[in-house]
Structure 1
Amino acid sequence: MFRHIFKLIWNRKRHNSLLLSEIFFSFVVLFLVGTVLITYATHYLEPHGFNYRQVWRLEIKAGQGEKMPRAELDEVLRRVQALPGIEQVALTSGNLPFTFNNNNSFFKYQGRKSGLTDTYDADDHYAQVMQLHLREGRWFAKGDDGSHYRPVVISQNLREALFGKGPALGKIFSFDWDKKGEAVAWQDKFLVTGVADDVRMGNDFGEATPSMWKRLIPFDTTHWETANVVVRVTPGQGGALQEKIARTVAGVTRQWTTMVRVMDQDRLHKRRYTLVPMLGLVIVSVFLIVNVALGLFGVLWYNINQRRAEIGLRRAMGATGPAISRQFLGEMLVITTLGIALGVLLAVQFPLLDAFELAPQFYLMGIGVAVAAIYVLTAVCAWQPSRLAASIQPAVALREE
């Protein structure tokens, strides 16, 4: 039977090439969209690795053209910490979670190199505010004041990249960009004190990126124009506490200003920047697939009308209606399989070439979704035309011919 179907397809290769091309391009669109949606959905269901709820961020700015001495900044933090409703305050860098500010670099250890790694500055209370979970070692403490190297805590995926299955605590690594033979400053050599769970601080749909937290030195005499602070508050706090924080900061020095933002609102705000293009991609893809479905339906309908004499002759020779219907469905499934095979040949190049730096399982799941969707689409489009072919009476078809 399949040999006969292949012969029929070959005899009408000019007409079937249009169907084949439509199926191929439909598969490519579904594969790409499916891979993106599966990747986003998988990351969305993964834990963030920290607790962003009940966390606020403060952006404290000095007066125009002025700097903020560390002593005055520490006094501000002490007064904010003393406010009712504040659980813990921590000083950090400007690349806070769910913001558009990034700070990243590459690192190396004995010939092993990391991927692009997010780096954060953090004081001794940062882990308590963000509720990071340590898998190994400890967070920063006052005893690190006398360290000869910059104490750091790294994420699990950075640990695996730099140290593999070997021990990480107490190891010293450095930036990947320092020149060979050039002396490296002590603050650019990093001593691992702890390993934390992987974190996703970019957005809800991003993957866990290698991360490193560098200890902010308490006695550093550096002056800042802007200080970034994360604050964990008790449940139920709102605008009243935000106003108290602003007044407290202004009470230390009238020239400083404070902006208070809720981290969960930052998360929702950044989520929209991912959802909007994703929604646009889905709408365009649905529009294309609907047009392809209509095209398949129209081409099949036209083919049946062109082959009424063939159908009538087969019916006159004893073929039943269901047999005619199965013949057209079989032809369509064979053409669909050929189109999918071409699409799969293209799709497997993406993981082989690491085109979008995604894990291979996402591409495989995208291929599976596209294959299933194409078979369903073509079966639905071929069902009604095949029923039409099965209902053609031989006498009517031959008389028209």
Structure 2
Amino acid sequence: MFKQILKQLWAQRRSNSWILLELIVVTAAIWWVIDPLYVIRCNQTIPQGFDCTDVYRITLGELPKKSPAYKAEESDSVNALANFNRIIDKIKQYPRVEASVVIRYYYPFSDSNRSSSYHNKSIEANACNMGYYSAGDYFQVFRYTSAADHSWQSLAKIKINAKDVFITKDFEKKMFGNKSALGKKLTDGDSTSVYTVVGVLDYVKLISSEQPQPIIISPEMKMNQTSSINEVKIFIRMKKGTAEKPFLEAFKKQMFSDLSIGNYYLSEINSYNKIKTDYEYSRGITNILRIKTGLCIFFLVNILLGVVGTFWLKCRARRDEIGLRMALGSTRKELHKFFITEGWLLTTLAFIIGIIINLQFVYLNGFYQSEQNNEAGIPWVNNAFLHFTAVSIIVYVLLLVTVLLATWLPVSAACKVSPVDVLRDE
């Protein structure tokens, strides 16, 4: 049967050449449509590097001086700090609060972030800065994991001194190669501050569709002033199983008055899921993902529909051949096998040619890449051979399924017609 199929393909080489050309173009087009989706979806499978389940952010407000409730005697630095500490104590005493920490400026999904350069002798690299006040339960709240044992508990037990820092595993590789960074020194961009690495974290990813990025966490020893209360955020971790909506309603109702101390008051409290959603939406990340996904699916569906139409018409035009074969004794199973094998051969040949063409484009232009793309990613994206192979397999499967479906349906319909009727029409 295989030789017969090859002879049939050659006999109809003129029409098959156009179909083959279409499949080659479709293979190349689908490959570039699938590649961005593949990278994005693979990146989304990379662990975040921290766990913000049951974590909430509390924001305090400060009464303006023109407010009737403003208390001038509570505005000096001593009373302000004392009032702030009283608020922290009240939050810790709230039922089901497991841990809390105060952070100034930068944290995962914060409205702003800062990246600085650091040096280790002649080696220089950038890292995203984060920090917290060491009096809090930072690692218990965010649950970054140690690169050594993949637990947050070991990080939480480390005693912190001034100028101690934590770095992520990818930053360790950039600065120290394959050597351990523990106890090593780093200097900042202006070489005025020297930091000691006391802990190495697993890879940390700050954007769901991106890959992990180098991060340095610099604890501040204590909070000594509260002049910028709007920049200070309080994070709490509730005990597992705390329902979000009832908790938020109860907390706002009870703590609105309890946290009104001095000139401070409860401004808002949000779950970390909302913080993440708002962050990615405000940065345009959500819209970019929607647009890319929507366009990819749109083009993919249209391309595959074109292939379906081509093979549908091809098989419908050969109803007389199907009737003749049935009249000569071919069974429906044999006819299905014959036409499906024919479609498979055309698809495979077009795929091989199309992939060779794509290989040239990849060599010249590279793959689709996210903004953060480093060794912290997964091999299926960062390894060129695995990346190309994976996308090519997806393209081949999609194309093959489409062609086989577009062949099976019209052949099945033609097989239901009596061969006598087909031959009479012929």
**Shorter-chain TM band:** 0.7 to 0.9
Aligned 1:316-327 pairs, distance under 5 A: 324-327=335-338
SS in 2 for 1:329: helix
In 2: Cα distance, 1:245 partner to 1:227 partner: 20
Task: Check whether the contact 1:32–1:366 (CA below 8 A) recurs between aligned residues.
Answer: no
Given candidates 78, 81, 101, the residue that maps to 2:85 is 78
Corresponding residue for residue 191 of structure 1: 196
Given candidates 141, 158, 162, the residue that maps to 1:129 is 141
Residues 303/88 of structure 1: CA separation in 2 closer, same or farther (3 Å cut): closer
Corresponding residue for residue 118 of structure 1: 128
Query: Alpha-carbon deviations, 1:23-62, whole Å to 9, x = none?
Result: 543444344434433432x13xx3x333323433233455
Given candidates 153, 161, 171, the residue that maps to 1:144 is 161
CA displacement at 1:397 relative to structure 2: 6.0
Q: In the alignment, does 2:10 pair up with 1:7?
A: yes
CA displacement at 1:102 relative to structure 2: 2.6
Task: Check whether the contact 1:34–1:370 (CA below 8 A) recurs between aligned residues.
Answer: no
Query: Alpha-carbon deviations, 1:230-254, whole Å to 9, x = none?
Result: 3325445544444665556542336
Given candidates 264, 269, 272, the residue that maps to 1:263 is 272
CA displacement at 1:382 relative to structure 2: 1.0
In 2: Cα distance, 1:380 partner to 1:34 partner: 24
Task: Check whether the contact 1:80–1:249 (CA below 8 A) recurs between aligned residues.
Answer: yes
Corresponding residue for residue 393 of structure 2: 368
Task: Check whether the contact 2:340–2:408 (CA below 8 A) recurs between aligned residues.
Answer: yes
SS in 2 for 1:252: coil
In 2: Cα distance, 1:81 partner to 1:157 partner: 34
Query: Alpha-carbon deviations, 1:78-103, whole Å to 9, x = none?
Result: 21232121554433233332344332
Residues 162/105 of structure 1: CA separation in 2 closer, same or farther (3 Å cut): same
SS in 2 for 1:383: helix
Q: In the alignment, does 2:369 pair up with 1:356?
A: yes
Residues 294/208 of structure 1: CA separation in 2 closer, same or farther (3 Å cut): closer
Task: Note the residue ranges of structure 2 that are not aligned, 5 or more in a row.
Answer: 67-74, 149-153, 382-386
CA displacement at 1:154 relative to structure 2: 0.9
Residues 143/312 of structure 1: CA separation in 2 closer, same or farther (3 Å cut): closer
Query: Alpha-carbon deviations, 1:351-370, whole Å to 9, x = none?
Result: 98354055451334333333
Task: Note the residue ranges of structure 1 that are not aligned, 5 or more in a row.
Answer: none
Corresponding residue for residue 21 of structure 2: 17
SS in 1 for 2:49: coil
Task: Check whether the contact 1:87–1:231 (CA below 8 A) recurs between aligned residues.
Answer: no
SS in 2 for 1:82: helix
Corresponding residue for residue 339 of structure 2: 328
Corresponding residue for residue 218 of structure 1: 222
Corresponding residue for residue 56 of structure 1: 56
Structure 1, 370-379 or 91-100: larger mean CA deviation: 91-100
In 2: Cα distance, 1:10 partner to 1:266 partner: 60
SS in 2 for 1:105: strand
Identical counterparts, % of pairs: 17
In 2: Cα distance, 1:27 partner to 1:314 partner: 37
CA displacement at 1:152 relative to structure 2: 1.0
In 1: Cα distance, 2:178 partner to 2:249 partner: 48
In 1: Cα distance, 2:12 partner to 2:380 partner: 35
Task: Check whether the contact 2:102–2:234 (CA below 8 A) recurs between aligned residues.
Answer: yes
Residues 317/111 of structure 1: CA separation in 2 closer, same or farther (3 Å cut): farther
In 2: Cα distance, 1:70 partner to 1:172 partner: 35
In 1: Cα distance, 2:329 partner to 2:379 partner: 51
Q: CA RMSD in A?
A: 4.1
In 2: Cα distance, 1:78 partner to 1:204 partner: 35
TM-score between both structures, scaled by the size of structure 2: 0.71
Corresponding residue for residue 151 of structure 2: none
In 1: Cα distance, 2:308 partner to 2:203 partner: 49
The number of residues matched between the two structures is: 381
SS in 1 for 2:204: coil
Residues 365/18 of structure 1: CA separation in 2 closer, same or farther (3 Å cut): closer
TM-score between both structures, scaled by the size of structure 1: 0.75
Residues 243/134 of structure 1: CA separation in 2 closer, same or farther (3 Å cut): farther
Task: Check whether the contact 1:57–1:228 (CA below 8 A) recurs between aligned residues.
Answer: no
Query: Alpha-carbon deviations, 1:188-228, whole Å to 9, x = none?
Result: x322122223333x355543322111122437679536332
SS in 1 for 2:411: helix
Residues 140/216 of structure 1: CA separation in 2 closer, same or farther (3 Å cut): farther
